[in-house]
Chain A
Amino acid sequence: MRAATACLGTEAGRKVKITSRARRRRRAFYTFVTPWLVGFILLTTLPLIAGLLTSLTNYDGLNLFNVDFVGMRNYASVLKDPNARHGVNRTLMWSLLNLPLWMICSLLLAILVNRKVKGIGVFRTLLYIPSVIPGVALVWTWKIILEQNFGLLNGFLSLFRPGTGIGWLTKYALGGVTAIAVWNGLGAGMIIFLAGLQGIPDELVEAARIDGANNFQVFWNVTLPMMTPVLFYQLVLGLIGAFQQFVIPLLVTTTAQQGIPVRGAYLYMIHVYQQIFATGRFGYGMALLWLLIIVIVLLTGVVFATQRYWVYTEIGEV
């Protein structure tokens, strides 16, 4: 009898202990993440809502106390804005140029450095360096190459065809900007593709070789299918990044001492930047921005939907 009560006592005691431990852990968890939660509310949720509300007004940075609610009018004007249309056109061209070029070049580079020879680490390091160069330095580095009269590229071409003066930063600005961005992205792309290549089991390649496959067949039938998940990942991130690009074209144009960005590289985000920071049309700029975000989300969704047609997944993988 005595033993039984004692037993009951400890049982109840343990239960109390467990619940109090759970409560303590809950309290500790919330104490830890509260700063994050506060930051999330103040620095993400609030700006998100503020941005959405701003896009429905005629706020211009000065008229805070007599802002008018204009409903969807900002969104409607986007459709009639020829500069926005031009920006969309340029952004699509830019993505079509930049994305495939960057992905193909970095995949080729990854294949090149994916071999076991002495000193390969040195080559990988050197090839990665362009990805370390930040925006401002990047643009100055390339400005002296692409400059029409004094640039290295036209100077080099003039050796074969004297007097070559191609406007890499003016008439063909989109080409120039693409070259800059691709060069800058090569190292990071290479490293990610390399990680993917190294994840391909050797047995697969060997089995293909025993079956008599040549280098190209191994690449086409083994390497490439096995790399589709990495390609997919790069495509999604690259697409999201390409649609948001504006730092390189903006810097190219400001260092060229031109007030207005070059027409050829007038990306959609440049238009947003112009509206908000140059003319102070915050409301309209936010409407432009929200439309861009909707497009990015939709496009990402489309890319995800195509996934099952071309991206290889292991059977049984979730």
Chain B
Amino acid sequence: MQALKRVRGARGKARKSLGRLMSYILLIVVTTLISVPLIWLVITSLKVDTEYLSYPITFLPAVPQWRNYLEVFAPQYHFLRHVGLTAFLALTFATLTVLTSSLFGFAFSRFSDVKACNRLFALVVGLIIIPSIVTVIPQFIIFSRLHLTGTYWPWILWGLAGSPFHIFLFRQFFLSFPRELEDAAEVDGCTPFGIFWRMFLPNAKPVVATSFILNFVWVWGDWFTPLIYLRNDNTTVAVIINTAYKTPTGQFLTTLTLAAVVVYILPMVLTFFLGQQHILKGVVTSGLAGR
């Protein structure tokens, strides 16, 4: 009886570890398959253009062209300049959006005794749901009539107005704060803004991080808005890498562009590695990455 049990146990264990092995094989195969495009991107970025333009294709570069990565920064392409401008724009926009959205989120979560509070919040939720294109193009027409295209003002105004999704994010988080905390602060003579600034915001670090990363990454990755709003000399790096790497005669330098693409996405991938849990929480809440 005992022996039988042991045999059965051993068999169960063997079956379990076999199952685990199968799991790993499946996971590795699927992950590799899905990573192929990125691996191919890096490989191709190390080729010379003629290698990329050979038929039939060559899978590996004869000599890895690490100098492509130096060439990306060559002065005639203005890559670093636009990286700087983009970082500045993203930083400004993300900081403003986090500050305003958290303030609005605070107002919508703690003032439900004020009559209009819930009704106004319903508007915020409505804004998350309606398709953004409804306002994107007319907004562009208005901004261009006001001669604000070609400047960073639209981003500042968008930042000041807060983003519906981020207002929602902050409100949900602030709802969980105990009421007593607020009352105690009020008794001690703290103003409503003081309560927000000294108690709520410092205690909302995870959401601040989520919101900041998502907003920063949105500006960094956005191609369409800077394309229609900004000039060639002050646009973001997304627009630049798409068209800047050409020979003087206008021929695309594909492998150089790819090296620039790698440099361009590297900070995003690194940010994701470091801020994973924050970003994924935002994704689960919104259902859309970085809106």
Q: What is the interface of chain A, defined by CB distance below 8 A to chain B?
A: 22, 25-26, 28-30, 32-33, 35-40, 42-44, 46-48, 50-51, 54, 61, 64, 109, 112-113, 115, 117, 120, 123, 125-137, 140-142, 144-145, 149-152, 154-155, 158, 162, 183, 186-188, 191-192, 195, 233-234, 237, 240-241, 243-244, 247, 251, 254-255, 257, 269, 272, 276-277, 282, 285-286, 289, 292-293, 296
Contacts and interface: CB of A to CB of B under 8 A. Distances in A.
Interface string B85-116: 00000000000000010011011100101101
Contact of A25 (B27, B141, B192): B192
B193 interface: yes
A144 B258 contact: yes
A99 to B, nearest CB: 14
B131 A285 contact: no
Nearest to B160: A35
30 contacts: A28-B191, A28-B192, A32-B103, A32-B104, A32-B196, A33-B108, A33-B120, A35-B160, A36-B161, A40-B127, A51-B138, A54-B138, A125-B276, A129-B272, A130-B37, A132-B272, A135-B224, A136-B241, A145-B40, A150-B57, A152-B36, A188-B287, A188-B288, A192-B287, A244-B132, A244-B133, A247-B223, A272-B137, A289-B137, A293-B131
A247 B224 contact: yes
A172 B37 CA distance: 19
Contact of B261 (A25, A39, A44, A141): A141
Contacts of B265: 132-134, 137
B207 interface: no
Nearest to A125: B276
For the complex of A and B, the 3 pairs showing the least CB-CB separation, nearest first, are A39-B161, A134-B221, A51-B138
Given A36-B167, A40-B123, A51 B135 contact: yes
Given A32-B104, A32-B192, A132-B269, 5 more contacts: A33-B108, A123-B27, A127-B31, A128-B272, A137-B265
Nearest to A159: B56
Contacts of B111: 25, 28-29, 32
Interface stretch (B7-15, B18-26, B65-73, B76-84): B18-26
Contacts of A145: 37, 40
Nearest to A183: B37
A251 B123 CA distance: 34
Given A158-B56, A251-B223, A251-B242, A29 B34 contact: no
Chain A interface mostly helix, strand, loop or mixed?
A: helix
Chain B interface mostly helix, strand, loop or mixed?
A: helix
